[in-house]
Every structure is written in C-alpha cells, then in structure tokens.
C-alpha cells in the first residue's frame, strides 16, 4: 500500500471514530464499525430511535468540499452492502435506513438522514 493510501486510510479511520463519538453523543448506540461484506464495507452500524442505521462517513479537508463528498454511485454500493447484512442487525420490526455523516476541520458534523431511499 502506498504512503498516500495509508494516510487516507488512517484519516478515514479517524473520521469514523469521530462520527461514532458524535452519534453516541446524539443518543445512538454503535453496533459495529467497518463492517465488511462481499459487496463492500459499511463504516458504522448504529441503533436508536426504533431504527438500525447504516452510516457512510466522509471526511474532507474543508467544509466547502462536503457538498460533493457523496454521490449516488457510492450510495448504491453502500445499499448493496446493507442488503447483504441488514438481517443480522434489524430485529423486531425496526426500520432500516442509510445515513451519511460528513466531517471537515472546524465544521459542525452534517448528518444526512435517510440519504438512500432506493
């Protein structure tokens, strides 16, 4: 793995930890982190408010870059991964959804609820 890729991976792990901490402060319970599936990886799996939420975390160097941090292609990949494992987390009729948490230095986290409605 290249030095640049290792740095990006470390930054991603830091962002996921920051997002998990922020979500927990909002009352969510983190069930899993970096859940690997045959179809891709899910950054965070959380439970709260009668729902199981699969969270995609994106970090950018500046707040103005956050508007372009997530796209339909990436959300489709997350949705496919969620379909493969949702049954392992959702029980008793809980709602399932995909959220996105966007992070940048000196910016309040942006939480996009139900980002994928496909």
> So where are the chain's domains?
3-112
Q: Say yes or no to pLDDT of 78 above 90.
A: yes
Q: Is the pLDDT of residue 118 over 80?
A: no
The fold for domain 3-112 equals: Trna Endonuclease; Chain: A, domain 1 (3.40.1350)
What beta strand segments (E) does 6-94 contain? 29-37, 40-48, 51-59
Q: Which residue has tokens 């997530």?
A: 70
Q: Is the pLDDT of residue 7 over 90?
A: no
Q: Is 59 helix (H, G, I), strand (E, B) or coil?
A: strand
Residue 77 has pLDDT above 70, yes or no: yes
């Amino acid at each position: 793995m290249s030095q640049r890729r290792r740095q990006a991976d470390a930054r991603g792990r830091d962002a996921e930890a920051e997002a998990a901490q922020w979500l927990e402060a909002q009352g969510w319970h983190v069930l899993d982190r970096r859940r690997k599936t045959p179809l891709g990886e899910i950054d965070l799996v959380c439970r709260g408010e009668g729902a199981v939420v699969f969270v995609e975390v994106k970090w950018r160097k500046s707040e103005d870059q956050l508007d372009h941090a997530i796209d339909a292609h990436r959300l489709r990949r997350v949705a496919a991964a969620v379909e493969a494992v949702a049954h392992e987390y959702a029980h008793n009729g809980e709602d399932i959804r995909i959220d996105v948490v966007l992070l940048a230095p000196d910016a309040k986290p942006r939480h996009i609820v139900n980002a994928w409605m496909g």
